[in-house]
Amino acid sequence: MNPSAIAKYRPFPPVQLPDRTWPDQVIDHAPIWCSVDLRDGNQALPQPMSIEEKLEFFDLLCRVGFKQIEIGFPSAADTEFNFCRRLIEEGRIPEDVTIQILVQTREHLIRRSFEAIAGAKRAIVHIYNSTSPLQRRVTFGNASREQIRDIAVAGAKLVKELVPTIPQTEVVLQYSPESFSDTELDFSAECCNAVIDVWQPTPDKKMIINLPDTVQWATPNIHADMIEWMGRHLNHRDSLWISLHTHNDRGTGTAATELGLMAGAERVEGTLFGNGERTGNLDIVNIALNMNSHGIETGLDFSDLPSIRAVYERVTRMSVQDRQPYAGELVFTAFSGSHQDAIKKGLDRRERETKEDPSVPWGVPYLTIDPQDIGRSYEAIIRINSQSGKGGVAYVLDREHGLDLPKTMHPQVGKTIYDLADQRGRELTPDEIRDAFFELFANVEEPLAVQDYELVHSTTQKGRVDCHATILMAGEEKQVSGQGNGPINAFVHALENAGLKDVKVTDYRSHALRGGSGSDAAAYVQVQHDDGRILWGCGIDPSIEMAGLKALVTAWNLLR
Ligand SMILES: CC(=O)SCCNC(=O)CCNC(=O)[C@H](O)C(C)(C)COP(=O)(O)OP(=O)(O)OC[C@H]1O[C@@H](n2cnc3c(N)ncnc32)[C@H](O)[C@@H]1OP(=O)(O)O
Ligand SMILES: CC(C)C(=O)C(=O)O
Ligand SMILES: [Mg+2]
């Protein structure tokens, strides 16, 4: 910010609540969730959703598991009104789902809202009026506190009066002192208590007091203090659900909601991926998955987050950014070497541990949850650029291409691949990594190549093998033969007999290649040159024996 501009801003006054209890509370259960995607989210879109799009979104919200859904502001426009009517008249509202509608505390709008919800089995009628000193002064033209409170009371009385006009609908009242976040606490309580006195809720017929963080002006601890303070000063507390409705102006919508729950709130309003006015509303995906990650059941099902995101992006025309918690493209991806190393070790260890005990708790470095639990694949966890390490390269070759390189081969391959990314100045795709691996470390046939071979296993000496091979050395064909205690050993002796041996085999392993054609084997041979250099080569072939010979030849060639 321009330094000379800073002086025009003021600190936010803290709440005097020395005996606050919320810091010691622990969130151990989920609140009542209410989606406001179709109202607060929709009203903030450059192009609001059409009726068909809202219907699709409503169905999605029901599938996710929301039992309360604010479907719009039916008195605002025909689209909103007609959407509400279609839900009701076409019987699209599941039995256990309650629709909620928003309306200003203005008579003609409240009357129109009742026309909209007539015939619904249950509906939450959400009335609001702004209460902060700023809004009293600016929006309501220097209205007094009494005038503002009276607007709320008049609205509540009108709702109460209209309830008998739609006898088939059970109406629940919700009141929001809008701009609660910068309203004097005693005045918020005064307005809420005045509405509560009109409505007369009981423990069996509760009403909702929604305390919106309409604009975030303060840190989340102050929000929590305000919620705890309200909980102590609202009448008929046992007949109320205290509801949170945070926005994200300071980037702390989730934090403020979590602390607000610790401060005693029972209900949370928010949207998928945080769509909403300005910086958005609370991201319910974020907070619900935060709870899941602590072992708390939420009643919301985000097990297929990518397809939820796809519907959201299509109908709202908004996009989920790459770093968005849980949903963003890159949030489970590691590019950097040390993270990749730890993640690969963590996943490998977990694979081993869960074979013995499937209930072993999640514990993989850098991954707060298992991406697969929300429908994300492991594919994108590790991606390779110049910041990557050998563990990451090995991970991609293993998970994407079924090549389980021996650990001591990782440095040789890893460095070459991330140096290649550095030279190209960009990320390498898994296919580019495979191609580079095949070109540089597998089936290398220059200057030496095996063309054909025959192995004769001794019938008298167990493990003894005669190897007769046709090799090409710098384009010249040669027949070589040797004997050993295994095909590789026999082939090494064949090379020795042809005057080509200056290496000894120091390690070997092989496995069936996962994926791909399904019938190939991969072999890895480590050799030590007479001058002390040690290198690995890889061979791929349908025959495991030939794969081994090719691996040896590759290592031999790499030493030239
Ligand atoms: C924080 C929130 O998200 S609140 C929800 C906001 N959502 C929306 O506004 C979306 C839907 N709204 C609309 O389509 C329109 O605002 C309508 C149809 C509801 C009303 O339209 P209009 O009456 O033409 O305009 P507008 O909303 O500007 O009305 C402003 C008037 O209502 C008054 N007003 C605003 N909110 C309220 C309220 N909650 N209760 C009583 N009066 C209110 C204002 O003081 C102003 O009065 P004035 O004309 O005497 O100055
Ligand atoms: C209508 C109210 C609850 C609102 O959206 C807000 O204050 O942000
Ligand atoms: Mg809002």
Collapsed DSSP state (helix, strand, coil) of residue 455: strand
Measured distance CA(434)–CA(445) in Å, rounded:
18
Annotated binding-site residue numbers for Mg(2+): 40, 245, 247, 281
Our CA dihedral for 39, 231, 151, 199, rounded to 10 degrees, sits at 90
Q: Which residue type does 360 have?
A: V
Asked if 118 contacts 84 with a C-beta cutoff of 8 angstroms, the reply is no
For 26-88, strand residue ranges (E) read 32-35, 68-72
Count CB-CB contacts under 10 A for residue 82.
15
Mean pLDDT to the nearest integer, 495-520:
88
Token readout for 393 is 């390269």
For the annotated binding site, the residues are 40, 245, 247, 281
The predicted pLDDT at position 517 comes to: 57
For the segment 516-558, what is each residue's pLDDT rounded down to a tens digit?
A: 556 899 999 999 999 999 999 999 999 999 999 999 999 999 9
Q: Which amino acid is at 81?
A: F
Distance 399 CA to ligand 3 centre (A): 44
Closest Cα to residue 25, out of 263, 342, 216?
263
For the chain, give the percent of residues with pLDDT over 90: 94
**Pocket around ligand 2 at a 6 A CB cut-off:** 40, 102, 128, 176, 178, 210, 212, 214, 245, 247
What is the value of ipTM here, to two decimals?
Answer: 0.95
Alpha carbon of 252 to ligand 3 centroid (Å): 14
Distance CA 375, CA 29 (A): 23
Ion ligand 3: protein residues whose beta carbon lies under 5 Å: 40
Q: What is the pTM assigned to this prediction?
A: 0.89
| pLDDT of 463 | 83
Helices (H), 402-470: 410-424, 430-441
Q: How far is the CA of 104 from the centre of ligand 1 (A)?
A: 6
3-state DSSP assignment of residue 507: strand
The token pair that represents 15 in the structure block: 């709440």
Percent of the chain with pLDDT over 70: 99
CA separation for the pair 212, 234 (Å, rounded): 15
Q: Are 367 and 485 in contact (CB under 8 A)?
A: no
For residue 539, the model assigns a pLDDT of 98
Taking the C-alpha atoms of residue 410 and residue 517, their distance in angstroms, rounded to an integer, is 24
Average pLDDT over residues 435-456: 96
Taking CA atoms only, the protein residue closest to ligand 1 atom 50 is 140
The finding on whether 73 has its CB within 6 A of some atom of ligand 1 is: yes
Q: Kindly report the number of other CB atoms within 10 A of residue 481's CB atom.
A: 16
Q: Where are the beta strands (DSSP E) in 298-447?
A: none
Region of residue 349 (left: phi > 0; alpha: psi -120 to 50; beta: else): alpha
Backbone φ and ψ for 425, nearest 5 degrees, come out as 70, 30
pLDDT at 2: 96
Cα dihedral 295, 299, 303, 306 sign: negative
For residue 397, give the H/E element and its range.
helix 390-401
Ligand with an atom nearest the CA of residue 73: 1
Give the nearest ligand 1 atom to 130 CA.
39
Tell me the per-residue pLDDT of 243-268, one tens digit each, with 9 for 90 and over.
999 999 999 999 999 999 999 999 99
Please write the tens of the pLDDT for every residue from 312-328.
999 999 999 999 999 99
What is the rounded CA–CA span in Å between residue 392 and residue 340? 5
- Determine the Cα–Cα distance for residues 525 and 506; give it in Å rounded to an integer: 8
Rounded to 5 degrees, φ, ψ at 42 are -65, -40
Mean pLDDT in the chain?
96
* Residue 544 near residue 550 (C-beta atoms within 8 A): no
Cα-trace Rg, the chain: 34
Residue 219 has pLDDT above 70, yes or no: yes
How far is 555 from 553, CA to CA, in rounded Å? 5
The pLDDT assigned to 516 comes to 59
The number of residues in the chain equals 560
Interval 458-475 mean pLDDT: 92
Rounded mean pLDDT, 287-304 = 98
Confidence of residue 378 (pLDDT cuts 50, 70, 90): confident
Compute the distance from residue 1 Cα to the ligand 3 centre, in Å.
26
The residue type of 556 is W
The amino acid occupying position 484 is: G
H helices present in 163-275, as ranges: 185-199, 220-233, 253-262
Q: How far apart are the first and last CA of the chain?
A: 61
Question: Best of 104, 137, 157 to mutate for ligand 1, by most ligand atoms within 8 A of CB?
Answer: 104
Nearest to 308 by CA among 41, 61, 45: 61
CA dist 279 and 277 (Å) reads 6
pLDDT tens-digit map of 103-146: 999 999 999 999 999 999 999 999 999 999 999 999 999 999 99
